[in-house]
A = this chain, B = another copy of it.
Amino acid sequence: MHIYLASGNRHKQEEFAAILKDHQVSLPADAGIEFNPDETGKTFLENALLKAQALYESVKCPVIADDSGLCIDALGGKPGIYSARYGMENGIQLEAAERNQLVLQQMKGITNRSCRFVCCIVIMLDANRFFTVQETCEGVIAEEPHGEHGFGYDPIVYLPELGKTVAELTAEEKNRLSHRGKAGRLAVHCLSEISKTESTF
């Protein structure tokens, strides 16, 4: 299936192309479309749906969109849907390392450190047909950053069962355990099932 990814990010395109390996993944820019929708939703699902619907309106063929972030129970679910923009002031985005320090500061002295990465994927087949998967990766906020792999909040999310942070996982481990890996695998499975039964794709 030819599917458009609701993102302007080439890195994300590569990531999704690896997950959706039997399908051709294009960016809006590949079709000359400027894509910069407002993420005004209140949940990961609402934001992923907004992106998928906005892109579907332009391309009128199947699209995939995602929204993800880190939710910390002791902070009432923050940074949540604002994960990428957390701590932003006057329109200036913090570097990942600065954001991590901000979170560690806010979590100082707090004993309930449970948190989870959340990823919601929406695949829209037409204006009325879609499916969505939301998956998680449960962990606890570390006392300090560890590890060099991954990106974003990975160095401060510790996985007790593995005895390391997400930034210390190998690529294979991260793909197997991460919120995005789990949601992606199920989404691909659905897509393959739909492709099997529909001659139009």
Contact = CB atoms under 8 A, between A and B. Distances in A.
B134 A116 contact: no
A118 interface: yes
Interface string A8-23: 0000000000000000
Contact of A135 (B71, B118, B129): B129
Give the oligomeric copy count. Answer: 2
A132 B186 CA distance: 11
Contact of A131 (B49, B133, B194): B133
Interface string A114-126: 0010100000000
A189 interface: yes
Contacts of A189: 189-190, 193
Contacts of A132: 130-132
Contacts of A194: 186
Interface in A68-83: 71
Contact of A136 (B49, B128, B190): B128
Nearest to A134: B130
A130 B182 CA distance: 12
Interface in A19-35: none
Contacts of A130: 132-134
Interface in A111-164: 116, 118, 128-136
A193 B187 CA distance: 11
B193 A131 contact: no
A135 B194 CA distance: 11
Nearest to A128: B136
What are the 5 tightest A-B residue pairs by CB atom distance, in nearest-first order? A131-B133, A132-B132, A128-B136, A189-B193, A130-B134
Given A71-B128, A116-B128, A186-B190, 17 more contacts: A45-B49, A118-B128, A128-B134, A128-B136, A129-B134, A129-B135, A130-B132, A130-B133, A130-B134, A131-B131, A132-B132, A186-B193, A186-B194, A189-B189, A189-B190, A189-B193, A190-B190
